[in-house]
Chain A
Amino acid sequence: MPLDPSFVGRTYPPTAPYQVGREKIREFATAIGATDAAYHDPAAARALGHADVVAPPTFPVVVTMESSRSQIVDDPALGVDYSRVVHGDQRFRYTRPIVAGDELVCVSTIEEITSRGGHDFLTIRSEVSTVAEEPVVSVWSKLVVRGEGG
């Protein structure tokens, strides 16, 4: 059954703050082979004008994936079959990079639901800001829910 388009525009409550740890950024950078000193060494990050080590550009999904999953994908009223979900598109628009020490809150909105060729397309926008309401990054994820035949 296609996803209910009346969910478009629905905004979910802010998530509990995510504490960005220096070791988490280092671990993520190491996992993707990113060796720039600003990802690992606070002094190198400070030399670029940041308070602590800088997260690589795709790090925000560590923060947004969990809230998209628990708030939206697993919302029984929306009824997404997670076993049929594949990642369609991903986009980030940064106000500034995430840095260690940030306490981040996500507010997610269902921006678009479309159905085509038996598949559903669900676009979630997550606005990531600090607990002090400083905007950090906007994250769009388009998920494809494959139809029964696909």
Chain B
Amino acid sequence: MDLPVKTYRVTRADLVRYAGASGDFNPIHWSQRFATGVGLPGVIAHGMFTMALTGRAVTEWAGRPDAVAEFSVRFARPVPVPDDDEGVEVQVAAVVKGVTDEGLTQLNLTVTSLGEKVLSQAKALVRLPG
């Protein structure tokens, strides 16, 4: 079963806010000069910010913020965030893979930006009511 796709818009301001909230002040997430200096196309989103958005999708599908038993991703590709008001979109899709022996529902997640997969091997085990 496919779950409804969730779309999140990410701007530079979101990255600054996430840096402060998470304590991850790596300048590749806020300084164009630094990011390009280390060979990146520009400022990129924190991998953990993309994972956090994916976690939002998972908890929204599950219907409870405390439903997640396990959650894992591989950071496959950076998400460059342009310095404009539109930012960039991240889309999270999921397929219900099945139910484990422990009664947990496995979601296989596909996370893309500009049509490219940015997280791979992304999955969550969630406790669904009933």
Contact = CB atoms under 8 A, between A and B. Distances in A.
Interface stretch (B47-55, B79-87, B93-101, B109-117): B47-55
A36 B21 contact: no
Contacts of A57: 52, 55, 58-59, 68, 71
Interface of A: 24, 27-28, 30-34, 36, 38-39, 48, 50, 54, 56-58, 61-62, 65-66, 83, 86-94, 96-97, 140
Name the 9 nearest CB pairs between A and B, nearest first: A91-B72, A31-B21, A57-B55, A32-B52, A58-B52, A87-B47, A31-B17, A97-B66, A28-B21
Task: Sort chain B's interface into a size bin.
Answer: 20 to 34
A27 B21 contact: yes
Interface of B: 8, 14, 17-18, 20-24, 38, 47-49, 51-53, 55-56, 58-60, 64-66, 68-75, 121
Contacts, number: 103
Main secondary structure of the interface of A (DSSP, over half): mixed
Nearest to A31: B21
A62 B24 CA distance: 8
Contact of B59 (A24, A36, A87): A36
Nearest to B15: A31
Contacts of B48: 58, 61, 87, 90
Nearest to B21: A31
Contact of A91 (B20, B21, B38, B70): B70
